Amino acid sequence: MAASVVFVCTGNICRSVTAERVLQSHLERSGAEAVVDSAGISDEEAGNPIDPTQARVLKTAGYRTEDHVARQITSEWLAERDVAIAMTRRHYRALQNLIADLPAEVRPQLRMLREFDPRVAAEKAVDAPAPDVPDPWAGQLKHFEETLEIIEVSVPGLTDYLHSVAEQTR
């Protein structure tokens, strides 16, 4: 059985959808499988496409940008995922609140994306939280490119982790 993961940021138009598209592409190239989607903790961008600058950066890097519609995460949605990946500590806390009333057997594992960034793993202290993925929204082009680079570096480790999650659920 394939693992299922949802990426979560604020509005679901930059970071989380970028992580979704990068992981989907990585899985397709490697022949691995997982259920992958994304959402925001806020409803402020619900119904909107990928941020135009983020879409340009993704397209230039060879990722799909079409047919994305921003959505807000719900506890019901989280109950259907094995793993929820937060982009920041604020998103992580919001996810903790959303799953607090779910039965333990349907609560997803909560992780921070940068836990899978090998540069962070090599530098961080034991039990220190992983750093946030910076929000590029309303920033310069380089901020969107930096966000993509952080996500691309983190995806191989995340893929390995999802494989282990899938093995545990068999």
Average pLDDT in the 136-146 region? 95
Higher local confidence (pLDDT), 48 or 168? 48
Beta strands in the chain (DSSP E): 3-9, 34-40, 83-86, 109-112
Listed in sequence order, the residues at least 6 apart from 164 whose beta carbon sits closer than 8 Å to its beta carbon are none
- Whole-number percent of the chain with pLDDT over 70: 95
Q: Which of 5, 150, 138, 148 is nearest to 81 (CA)?
A: 5
What is the strand order of the sheet 109-112 is part of?
34-40, 3-9, 83-86, 109-112
- The residues annotated as belonging to the active site are 9, 15, 135
- Whole-number percent of the chain with pLDDT over 90: 84
Q: What is the pLDDT of residue 27?
A: 95
Q: Say what the pTM is.
A: 0.95
The model's pLDDT over 52-108, given as tens digits with 9 standing for 90+, comes to: 999 999 999 999 999 999 999 999 999 999 999 999 999 999 999 999 999 999 999
Q: What is the pLDDT of residue 37?
A: 98
